[in-house]
């Protein structure tokens, strides 16, 4: 498996596969304050990405994989608080 549990952090390593999605989901739903570290993860299986997008856990560390850093981290970031983003419309 490419999933290692370290306290309240799920560390995804290598290329997380479909088999990692269910244990990741169970871990993240198992208690408050649990997060994910993607710093050692390569390409993520779509099932693992689906768990991350659905639950949006706190992220610890960066992303070691350039694709994850460029495209996935922005998707997994918490949504901005109201008033924290510029308006799309100008007056």
**Which of 36, 33, 29 minimizes the C-alpha distance to 13?**
36
Is residue 81 assigned to a domain? no
CB-side exposure of 90: number of CA atoms within 13 Å?
0
- Tell me if the pTM is above 0.85: no
Looking at the 3D structure of the chain, how many domains does it have? Answer: 1
> Which pLDDT score is estimated for 8?
97
Is residue 90 assigned to a domain? no
Whole domain around residue 62: which residue ranges?
A: 3-76
Is residue 64 assigned to a domain? yes
Distance CA 39, CA 9 (A): 12
Digitized pLDDT (tens) for each residue of the chain, 91 residues in all: 699 999 999 999 999 999 999 999 999 999 999 999 999 999 999 999 999 999 999 999 888 899 999 999 998 887 777 765 555 544 4
């Amino acid at each position: 498996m490419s999933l290692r549990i370290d306290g309240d952090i799920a560390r995804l390593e290598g290329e997380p596969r479909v088999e990692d999605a269910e244990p990741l989901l169970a871990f993240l739903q198992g208690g408050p304050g649990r997060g994910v570290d993607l710093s050692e993860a390569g390409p993520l299986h779509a099932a693992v990405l689906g768990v991350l997008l659905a639950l949006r856990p706190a992220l610890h560390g960066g992303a070691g994989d350039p694709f994850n850093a460029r495209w996935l981290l922005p998707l997994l970031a918490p949504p901005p608080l109201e008033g924290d983003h510029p308006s799309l419309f100008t007056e």
